[in-house]
Amino acid sequence: MTLGPVLVLAALLFSMGVYGVLARRNAVTVLLAVELMLNAVNINLVAFQSALQSPQGLGQIFAIFVITVAAAEVGIGLAIVLLIFRNRRSANLDDFATMKG
Amino acid sequence: MELLDNGTVLSLITFLPLVGALVVGLIPRAQEEAYKWAALITALVVGVLSIVVAFVFDYGDSAKFQFGTDLSWIESIGSNFHIGVDGISLPMLVLSAVITILAIIYSWDHWEEPRNPKAFLILMLLLETGMNGTFVALDLILFFIFFELVLLPMYFMIGIWGDKTPRTIAMFNLTTETRLYASIKFFLFTLFGSAFMLLSFLGLYFNSGDAGARTFDIPKLIEMAPHLSALPIAGWLFAGMFLGFAVKVPMWPFHTWLPDAHTAAPTVGSVLLAAILLKLGSYGFIRIALPILPEQAMQWAPTIAILAVIGIIYGSLACLAQTDMKRLIAFSSVGHMGFVMLGISTMTEAGINAAIIGMVAHGVITGMLFFVAGSMHHRYHTRDMARLGGNATLMPKMGFILGFIAMASLGLPGLAGFWGEFMALLGAFRPAAGLPVGLFQTAMVIGAVGTVLTAGYLLWMLQKVNLGEPKDEWAGHEFHDVDRFEMAAWVPLLLATVAIGVYPRLVLGSTNGAVKELVSTILENLA
Amino acid sequence: MTNLFLALASEGEKAVEFGSGGQLQEWAWLILVAPFVAYVLILAYGKKLKYEGGEIAVGMMAFVFGYGLLLWVDTIRNHTVFEKSIEIGRVGNGMVFEWGWVVDGLSSMMYFVVGTVGLLVFTYALGYMKGERRNTFFYASFSLFAGAMLVLVASANLAQLIVGWELVGVASYLLIGHYWEDKANSSAGMKAFFTNKVADVGLIVGALALSVSVGSFRIKDILEVATTNGDSLNAPYFGSTVAVAGALLLFFGAMGKSAQFPLHIWLPDAMAGPTPVSALMHAATMVTAGIYLMARMFPLYQEMATAARPIMIAVGAATLFLTGLIALVQDDIKKVLAYSTVSQLGYMMVAIAAGGYTAALFHLFTHAFFKALLFLGAGSVIHGVHSNNMSDMGGLRKYMPRTFWTFIIGSGALAGIIPLAGFFSKDEILGTLDYEGYTAVLWIAIAGAFVTAFYMTRAVALTFFGSYKGHGHPHESEGLMTVPLMILAGFSVVAGAVNMAGFKFGETIVLRYTGFTEWLATRDFSPLGDHHPEALEWGLALYGTAAAVGGIAIGWMLFSKDAETQEARDRLTIPVLYPILRAKYYLDDVALGLVGVIKGPAARFVDWTNTYIFDTIVNSFGFAAGWLGKVVYNVADQGIIDGIFNGSAGVASVAGGWLRKIQTGKIQQYAGALVIGAVALVVGFVIFNSN
């Protein structure tokens, strides 16, 4: 199995994710885009593991870590979005500029 | 005995008040009885320990530092935790410990505005640590720390609990509260002197040996006296110490902080100031300046004697001009300490013994006078002698005590004050060999004339305050005579006045051996 | 190890005893301590007793009298000379402070005088002071007075002597100013105290000079050196030797206590105290102290300090004559007696300065009785008429017969009428002056005798003869007061018998008895070398008696007639002299002026220097420091250092202002920046790592 196509796939996925994060206004969509980016990285990790034959299986282990963290992140992220939505009646990120200096 | 010999007891005497202050600080402000008792018990324990020390002290060998310890402390500069008592410091230590107890008993329900007994007690205990520490310290740095430690509590005592009446500063036309003026003057003036003292201490240190072998240890420095007093800068070193100690004594003309501080201080503050704090200076002369730099001491002795007799006459005359009873008593200290310094300046056994017994007597008597003055102020709310009068009619017991202690203060034979003056004159008749005899004999006569003036102002004070008919403004006032706290605080002092007067050996028995040794060391180091 | 107990109680080396003596002498310290115990007891319990503490005082004096009598008898019979000292402290190796007591002829005589006169006066006081103010305090002070005198008399060393000496002064201050509600009285007490204190300077300096030179406070040691012409007393001091200068300084001290001219000014004012105080003070406890000191130190004056004598004699002669004259113009009966005492003290001082040890003490002895008698008599009169002034008296012999007769006896004794006590003692003084060759002083003394008789006659005439001029009805005093008067009158008659020179008729001498001389010589360093005539010298006796009789006669002529007006009656208005005498030689004015200068301008000046010079210097430092502080703060601190810091802060603030603009709060812009940064990093990485 060659490394090239897999990496292209991962790059595509990541770019979609970046686009989602930067361009979409809906908070939930942004969260989904973040998931895309994370999974693109996972693909990269697994691919490099299999290509480089790292003896301890570091790639897989990292991938599992990322999945776990991503799950937690989504949990907390959704909760936050939900709360914000409840308070503001909006999920539009442009409305949330309270951190403006 | 184990605890005594390894210095534990002396350390306790010094630092227990600090612990007591901490305990008082931890007790909530509302529990007034509790922290009063805590303070009193601390002071009592310290007092009992000091008396235990006095009991087991070896009077046959009173020149030796006993019950001490010499622990490594700040190794990098060769300063040790070196403490101990000898026959010279023992009476002062006991005096300090006992006066503190009496001061706490007296203040039990005599709190001056703004009251706050807790803070006041903490300051008193802090002060005790400083005083006791100074008397046991045998290391210059240690001595200096304790010597300076007393400033702070006293500063706050005067500044917070002091006299709030406005006071105009002559020549500057500024008006400020007496307590503020007095406390700042007291603090800065004494600090000014001690700065020079510290410089001298450092000078001694740097000349005490090669780097690494230098020391602040007083006995070791005394052994080096011939070397140290031969130094080219020895004169400056003595001058620095002289400034530090002379301000504290205070000697004329460095005395002007004293009348203000004494007058402004709360009663207990005045008592402690007069009874103990003034003695730190003269004690320093005896303990440090004289034995470490004997040659310079000899050179300075005539100057000290002249300043001392000027102080005697000056203080007495200034007393005659006072209208404020407390200020009069304050000025009397200038005269009395003049006798102490006259004794020291003679560099003789008689003179230095005179100085110590004079210090003890002045502590007991003037402390007592300030107690009475404070209690009278408490009742009359004035110290203006023109308004007082007939006190002996209004309060017979108070009048009797005031009369008695005034008699003691004027040096009545048979009471404590006499011996210090008498022996100082004795020493001045024949000062140490090498000193100008004519000058000292003249000083002796002037000093004796000073006793007449002393009698003068005290009797005038008695006449104005105690005798005569009470003024009209007091008609209808109900004055309560001496109360039980006052009695409890005063009776020991009155008894001590009689006891030392009748049996001066109480003090001389302790000091004489040590003084003999001290004088012979000085003379040996001179040769 | 010498712990506190051992240090305080090691008795062995500390008690030193000299001479012979048994248990009686060993315990003689009791009479020194008794008055002080009484003092405390009276103050503690006196208020509850009937006489407000007087009982305790009288009981104590009775004990002192009894013990003193025993001591004297024992001394006379066994020629005991005893001295014991207890160490109370020492300085260095040499000077030792001690409490001691001496029992020898001299001190026993004084114990006896203090005991006898004291007991009688105390008893009298029980009656006299009844219903007065503060009696408890009065009796306490009275006991203190007696105790102080006993301490003084008993002292074996000069330090203790000074203690007793000054305690006497304080007790007198308390007693003279007893009625201190009135400022005049407390001022009188202060005057006594100050005058004595001024004299005490002499005593203290002199005592120290002698003691330090000899190396011991013990009188015995000093006299030892004095009688052997020791070198230590020949050392130079104040342009003279220690012996002479020291002796003169001691004499200066004695001038204060024994009221010698011009330091006598306190004594007449001391009459402000209750009459028993005056009696005790004049007879036994205070004014005799100076004479006693001179007598105790007599060997010094006899041997090494003879150079001091002319001055002492001059002072004594001035005292005896000049103050006698003042007595002539006084209206207050107590002041007449006071000046008379001063004058008699002059006699004693002259005698002792001329070398008449026995003569002076003999006069002290007899004088103690008749002067106490006169004062108590005067007190009885004052008690009867409630006034001190003779212009309020007159004709009292009818109302107060006992007082009158005893007063007559006292006056006679004072005037020196044979065979009363005063005659013999005064004659002894005249004899000494004659023998020692002080002829001029002898004539002054005889003139003084004339003056004495004169003023006493005046006092008696104005008080007891003529008609009563006061208010109310005078009455005789109660028994508590008259019995002591009668006993003292008895002593005034017979006291001369202890030392009669004897009357020489041809070859036979009758009535010669010189016991007193021997008793007084029972001490260390006798014989004392004073002169004792073989018998009474008729010539001198004649002059003396003639002077006395002349004085009485002239006094009687001038004052016995009951003139109509006071002015003509009670004053002898000699021009020039009279105003001077009334003004008491202006000495009071001089003294008050001096005190005024010290208390006023001098004290104010010193206080002024304190406030305006010393304080100003200190304050100037303070203000200068404050000013410097301001300068440093404003220029250096605020201007330069703060400038630097403030500058950097300003930069930060401006930069912050700019930077805050990019913080939009829009999370996607942040994320975009993040991505741009990451891309930039990657690009950079690729470019720089390409080669």
Cα separation of B86 and B510, whole Å? 8
List, in sequence order, every residue forming a beta bridge with B139; answer none if it has no partner: B217
Query: What integer pLDDT is reported at residue C14 of this predicted model?
Result: 60
DSSP letter for B324, please.
B
> Cβ of B312: how many Cβ atoms within 10 Å?
30
pLDDT at A48 over 90: no
| Cβ neighbours of residue C86 closer than 8 Å, sequence gap 6 or more | C14, C15, C98, C99, C100
pLDDT at C476 over 50: yes
Judge whether B270 and B237 are in contact, CB under 8 Å: no
> Cβ of C33: how many Cβ atoms within 10 Å?
13
pLDDT at C408 over 70: yes
Query: What integer pLDDT is reported at residue B478 of this predicted model?
Result: 81
Query: What integer pLDDT is reported at residue C4 of this predicted model?
Result: 65
Query: What integer pLDDT is reported at residue C6 of this predicted model?
Result: 58
List, in sequence order, every residue forming a beta bridge with B167; answer none if it has no partner: B176
Burial class (CB in 10 A: 0-12, 13-18, 19+), C55: middle
Query: What integer pLDDT is reported at residue B239 of this predicted model?
Result: 93
Please state the rounded mean pLDDT for residues C407-420. Answer: 86
- Amino acid (one-letter) located at C565: T
First to last CA, chain C: 95
Query: What integer pLDDT is reported at residue C279 of this predicted model?
Result: 86
Q: Residue C64: which of C3, C1, C153 has the closest Cα?
A: C153
List, in sequence order, every residue forming a beta bridge with B70; answer none if it has no partner: B82
Average pLDDT, chain B: 89
Cα separation of B346 and B432, whole Å? 6
Asked if B touches A (at least 3 Cβ pairs < 8 angstroms), the answer reads no
Residue A27 with chain C: CB contacts under 8 Å? none
pLDDT at C530 over 90: no
Record: contact C606-B460, CB cut-off 8 A: no
- Which residue in chain C has the smallest CA separation from A98? C665
CB of C658 less than 8 A from some CB of A: no
pLDDT at C404 over 60: yes
Lowest model confidence (mean pLDDT) among A65-69, B324-328, C78-82: C78-82
In the stretch 40-59 of chain B, residues with CB closer than 8 A to chain C read 54-59
Strand order in the sheet with C15-19: C15-19, C82-91, C95-103
DSSP letter for C662, please.
G
CB of B168 less than 8 A from some CB of C: no
Query: What integer pLDDT is reported at residue C122 of this predicted model?
Result: 87
CA distance C652 to chain A (A): 16
Query: What integer pLDDT is reported at residue A101 of this predicted model?
Result: 60
Residue A98 with chain C: CB contacts under 8 Å? 665
Cα separation of C155 and C162, whole Å? 9
pLDDT tens-digit profile of B394-425?
A: 888 899 999 999 999 998 888 998 999 999 99
Cα separation of B37 and B19, whole Å? 14
Query: What integer pLDDT is reported at residue B404 of this predicted model?
Result: 92
pLDDT at A98 over 80: no
Residue B429 with chain C: CB contacts under 8 Å? 208-209, 212
pLDDT tens-digit profile of B191-226?
A: 888 899 999 999 999 888 887 788 888 998 998 888
3-state secondary structure B194-209: HHHHHHHHHHHHHCCC
Q: What angle do CA B140, B142, B146 make, to 5 degrees?
A: 115
Please state the rounded mean pLDDT for residues C18-35. Answer: 83
Q: Chain A interface residues facing chain C, Cβ-Cβ under 8 Å? A: 18, 21-22, 30, 93-94, 96-101
- Rounded to a whole number of angstroms, the CA Rg of chain A reads 17
Burial of C418-446, coded b for 16+ CB within 10 Å and e otherwise, reads eebbbbbbbbbbbbbbbbbebeebbebbb
pLDDT at C359 over 70: yes
Better-scored residue on pLDDT, C470 or C608: C608
pLDDT at C97 over 50: yes
- The two tokens of residue B87 are 């026959």
- Amino acid (one-letter) located at A84: I
Query: Residue for token digits 């003057």?
Result: B185
- The two tokens of residue C490 are 């008895």
Burial class (CB in 10 A: 0-12, 13-18, 19+), C651: exposed
Query: What integer pLDDT is reported at residue C9 of this predicted model?
Result: 57
Cα separation of A100 and A87, whole Å? 19
pLDDT tens-digit profile of C222-261?
A: 888 888 877 888 888 887 888 888 899 999 999 988 888 8
Query: What integer pLDDT is reported at residue C12 of this predicted model?
Result: 42
Kind and range of the H or E element at C85? strand C82-91
Residue A18 with chain C: CB contacts under 8 Å? 675
- Which residue in chain C has the smallest CA separation from B255? C614
ipTM score of complex? 0.91
Query: What integer pLDDT is reported at residue B280 of this predicted model?
Result: 92
CB of C40 less than 8 A from some CB of B: no
Query: What integer pLDDT is reported at residue B46 of this predicted model?
Result: 94
CB of C353 less than 8 A from some CB of B: no
pLDDT tens-digit profile of C149-169?
A: 999 999 888 999 999 999 998
pLDDT at C636 over 80: no
Please state the rounded mean pLDDT for residues B352-366. Answer: 93
pLDDT at B99 over 90: yes
Confidence of residue C571 (pLDDT cuts 50, 70, 90): low
pLDDT more than 90, % of chain B? 45
pLDDT tens-digit profile of B244-270?
A: 999 998 888 888 889 889 989 999 999
Interface test with A, best of C659, C661, C667 (most A CBs within 10 A): C667
Query: What integer pLDDT is reported at residue C638 of this predicted model?
Result: 75
Lowest model confidence (mean pLDDT) among A81-90, B295-304, C174-183, C389-398: C389-398
List subunits contacting chain B, requiring 3 or more Cβ pairs under 8 Å.
C
> How far are the Cα atoms of C28, C72, C137, C478 from residue C61, in angstroms, in the given order?
14, 16, 17, 21
Cα separation of B376 and C614, whole Å? 30
pLDDT at C568 over 50: no
Judge whether C260 and C291 are in contact, CB under 8 Å: no
pLDDT at B371 over 90: yes
| Cβ neighbours of residue B158 closer than 8 Å, sequence gap 6 or more | B179, B182, B183, B186, B261, B264, B265, B266, B269
3-state secondary structure C98-150: EEEEEECHHHHHHHHHHHHHHHHHHHHHHHHCCCCCCHHHHHHHHHHHHHHHH
Residue A93 with chain C: CB contacts under 8 Å? 666-668
In the stretch 105-164 of chain C, residues with CB closer than 8 A to chain B read 159, 162-164
pLDDT at B365 over 70: yes
pLDDT at B92 over 90: yes
Query: What integer pLDDT is reported at residue B75 of this predicted model?
Result: 82
Judge whether C105 and C164 are in contact, CB under 8 Å: no
Judge whether C643 and A79 are in contact, CB under 8 Å: no
Q: Residue C344: which of C311, C373, C366, C314 has the closest Cα?
A: C366
Please state the rounded mean pLDDT for residues C451-461. Answer: 87
CA distance C626 to chain A (A): 45
- Which residue in chain C has the smallest CA separation from B349? C92
pLDDT at C178 over 70: yes
* Cα dihedral value C633, C634, C639, C642, nearest 10: 40
CB of B256 less than 8 A from some CB of C: yes
Confidence of residue B105 (pLDDT cuts 50, 70, 90): very high
Please state the rounded mean pLDDT for residues C205-213. Answer: 90
pLDDT tens-digit profile of B439-463?
A: 999 999 999 999 999 998 999 999 8
pLDDT at C520 over 90: no
> How far are the Cα atoms of B229, B376, C326, C335, C459 from residue C464, in angstroms, in the given order?
81, 51, 21, 17, 8
Please state the rounded mean pLDDT for residues B30-56. Answer: 91
Please state the rounded mean pLDDT for residues C284-294. Answer: 87
For every residue of B342-391, DSSP letters joined together read HHHHTTSHHHHHHHHHHHHHHHHHHHHHHHHHHHHHHHHS--BTTT---H
- The two tokens of residue B293 are 């730099």
pLDDT more than 70, % of chain A? 96
Q: What are phi and psi of B415, to 5 degrees?
A: -120, 165
Lowest model confidence (mean pLDDT) among A80-84, B85-89, C135-139, C230-234: C230-234
Lowest model confidence (mean pLDDT) among A32-36, B114-118, C158-162: B114-118
Which spans in C129-218 are helix H? 135-154, 158-176, 183-214
Query: What integer pLDDT is reported at residue B128 of this predicted model?
Result: 93
> How far are the Cα atoms of B145, B159, C316, C426 from residue B178, in angstroms, in the given order?
28, 9, 56, 66
